[in-house]
Structure 1
Amino acid sequence: MKNKKKVLQLLAGGLIGGLAGFLSMRLLLALIPKETAQLLFGAPAGPGEGIAKAIFGLVGVWGGIAVHELAHLLTGLALGFRFYLYVAGFLGVRRNPTTDRVEWYVNRDPNMFGGLAGTVPVRQESHLRQKLAAICAAGPLASLLTGALSMGLSFYVISRSTLDSPLTRVLLMFGLVFGLISLLLFLATTVPSRTGPFFTDRARFFRLISGGHDAEVEQAVLELIAHSQSGLPHADLNLNQISLLINEPEPFFRSYAHGLAYARHLDRGEWDAAFEHIETANALSDEQPSTFKNEIWKDLAFAQAFIRNDADAARQTWNRILPAFRQQKTAHLFMIQAAMALADRQPDQARQFAEEGLSVLPEPPVKSDDKLYKKLLVLVQERVNPLTV
């Protein structure tokens, strides 16, 4: 039933997007003289020009997405937020959780092809909501300005040139496609209130500045993120803020809150409560993008092995995680494998994974996650010793 719902949502989204693109292209053709339209979209002078137009048209589509997300990203960095993720189509840039370095990767998550930029606050401070509101507004404004500029320059060239040069026609193709996509992105992020599981930029902007309950929820999210990024213990996460998000109707907020509650109880050694929260986060993960879903599965696999001592359930969850998400040599992944080996009663293997996990952690650990991973890896080592004896 859930898969059927997803397929219907994808079909509906594709139909609406296709219809919007078709109508926009019809409008564009209506504004261009017929002779110019024939030169641009008719039979090319040679195969090389046709290929070049196709390539530059695709680059124009990607460029519109890339500029929109880059505006979000640069605004966040300028306001003191820390870089976390940048995705535009297949291009992905992220902060490596082990080395803390920025790295390139190929994005394979179709839910993120439309672009995503992530910067996170690193300390709790005043005006967090206002800063995020500026970040939200930056993308649509950049799309509107660059789209209008590109379309204006393109129509200026059309009015002033005979388009005899193949290079001019290829560049004009890029300018028109880039401008059209940018203006469509402006509309897509300002007219509707949702795109998939996420609020659009406009909806998020007004949630942040409106005051009231929605603003309180957004403030809680920002402060919880800042706490996690600041190096403070997960055990000290604000329980009132977590409870506020848990009671929200939005699955994304609830799933995120249960994940934080899991980390809080885990850091306090409250195992049963931690397991209950990560199970609930997993139950809410169906509507989340693949990146978030795989992170929940990692935590669930560890909880099944370490808390419930259920090696079979942990292995099943581990196998659900995409290979790209379980191949990095991170303390988190070594910790999960150590817990699974422990549940399998393989003490030597568990000890080896625990030692590898500790070896890749910075000393002393600075980030909140690293501090928690170190505590849990040491606990795994302590459980290994009686098994070895």
Structure 2
Amino acid sequence: MEIILFIIQALISYFIVVTIHELGHIITGILSGFRFILFVIGPFGLKRNDKGKITFYIEKNKALWGGIGGTVPVDDKKDNFKNFRRLIIAGPLTSLLFGVIMLIVFFYKSYLFILLLGAMAVGISIATLLPFRAGVFYTDGGRWLRMKGNDHDAKVELAIFNFIQSYSINKDYSKLNIEDTQLLIEDKDPRNQYMGHCFAYYYYKDNNNLNDADIELKKMKELQSHVPKNFVKLLAAED
């Protein structure tokens, strides 16, 4: 019975800690003038639909089950990329602050649940601050460091942000800077190459250039064996 109780408390702690982490991203984004579009934890999610209404849904892509909180710019401001860097790092820092508070509380109220909350929050903070890429995504710390530089990686991150910003403002990909896709296509990471061809595909498709769109789609299919399946599903370009 004690083991079952521990498992239940651990699961509840995980959901609380991940929710707080993602709220750190979301609230910082909203305070920066961005618009909420997505929150996922496990298979459960909230998203803003095409009519602007926030709805509950079941997320089928397991790559997102670890937790994601999304906000996007509503207009093109010069500080948007800097604000995006800030919201990226806000998740781990929020987790760290919450974890430290819970561990301090544990010294006064020695409840296992409080200890689990504190330990998990600090653990998630450290794990997401360490700069590496596992599967589909870079960690928050990894992305933040890439964005802070002045090298090729920073330009790639800026290009990806510009793609997301352009879509969130214009509601399609027709106004992307197609030259930015070449940055990703020439990157050494197959996942970035795939993403570059994918954004180029959407650009040509939304501009009714079906011949070039078909060329990009074929290049994507050639790369599919070199990237995680969940990554392909996440971008979900189709004939």
Q: Same fold (TM over 0.5)?
A: yes
Aligned-partner SS, 1:183: helix
Aligned-partner SS, 2:27: helix
- The residue that corresponds to 2:108 in the other structure is 156
- The residue that corresponds to 1:202 in the other structure is 141
Structure 2: runs of 5 or more not aligned: none
Contact 1:67/1:143 (<8 A) preserved: yes
Find 1:133's aligned residue among 78, 85, 89: 85
Q: Structure 1 residue runs of 4+, over 6 Å off?
A: none
- The letter for the 1-side match of 2:97 is L
- The residue that corresponds to 2:179 in the other structure is 240
Is residue 293 of structure 1 aligned with residue 230 of structure 2?
Answer: no
- The residue that corresponds to 1:249 in the other structure is 188
Give the direction of change, closer, same or farther, for the CA distance of 1:194–1:234 in structure 2 (3 Å limit): closer
- The residue that corresponds to 1:64 in the other structure is 17
Q: Give the helix-richer structure, 1 or 2.
A: 1
Tell me how large the CA RMSD over aligned residues is: 2.4
CA distance in 2: counterparts of 1:73 and 1:283, whole angstroms: 36
Question: C-alpha displacement at 1:150, in angstroms?
Answer: 0.7
Question: C-alpha displacement at 1:52, in angstroms?
Answer: 4.9
Give the direction of change, closer, same or farther, for the CA distance of 1:244–1:272 in structure 2 (3 Å limit): same
CA distance in 1: counterparts of 2:45 and 2:171, whole angstroms: 29
- The letter for the 1-side match of 2:44 is L
Question: C-alpha displacement at 1:232, in angstroms?
Answer: 7.1
Structure 1: runs of 5 or more not aligned: 1-42, 45-49, 159-171, 304-389
Find 2:122's aligned residue among 183, 190, 203: 183
Is residue 85 of structure 1 aligned with residue 26 of structure 2?
Answer: no
Question: C-alpha displacement at 1:122, in angstroms?
Answer: 3.0
Give matches, 1:337-376, under 5 Å. Answer: none
Contact 1:109/1:289 (<8 A) preserved: no
Deviations 1:153-194 (CA, angstroms, capped at 9, x unpaired): 112113xxxxxxxxxxxxx22211111111110111122422
Contact 2:61/2:234 (<8 A) preserved: no
Is residue 75 of structure 1 aligned with residue 15 of structure 2?
Answer: no
Contact 1:57/1:173 (<8 A) preserved: no
- The residue that corresponds to 1:269 in the other structure is 208
Question: C-alpha displacement at 1:275, in angstroms?
Answer: 0.7
CA distance in 1: counterparts of 2:106 and 2:213, whole angstroms: 58
- The residue that corresponds to 1:110 in the other structure is 62
CA distance in 2: counterparts of 1:268 and 1:189, whole angstroms: 38
Question: Which has the higher relative contact order, 1 or 2, with Cα contacts under 8 A spaced 6 or more apart?
Answer: 2
Contact 1:60/1:177 (<8 A) preserved: yes
Contact 1:87/1:107 (<8 A) preserved: yes
Deviations 1:293-351 (CA, angstroms, capped at 9, x unpaired): 1652xx42xx3xxxxxxxxxxxxxxxxxxxxxxxxxxxxxxxxxxxxxxxxxxxxxxxx
Find 1:94's aligned residue among 31, 47, 51: 47
Contact 2:43/2:58 (<8 A) preserved: yes
CA distance in 2: counterparts of 1:186 and 1:233, whole angstroms: 34
- The letter for the 1-side match of 2:142 is A
Larger Rg: 1
Contact 2:44/2:58 (<8 A) preserved: yes
Could you tell me the TM-score, scaled by structure 2's length? 0.87
Give matches, 1:8-27, under 5 Å. Answer: none
Question: C-alpha displacement at 1:73, in angstroms?
Answer: 1.3
Q: Give the strand-richer structure, 1 or 2.
A: 2
Q: How many correspondences in the alignment? A: 238
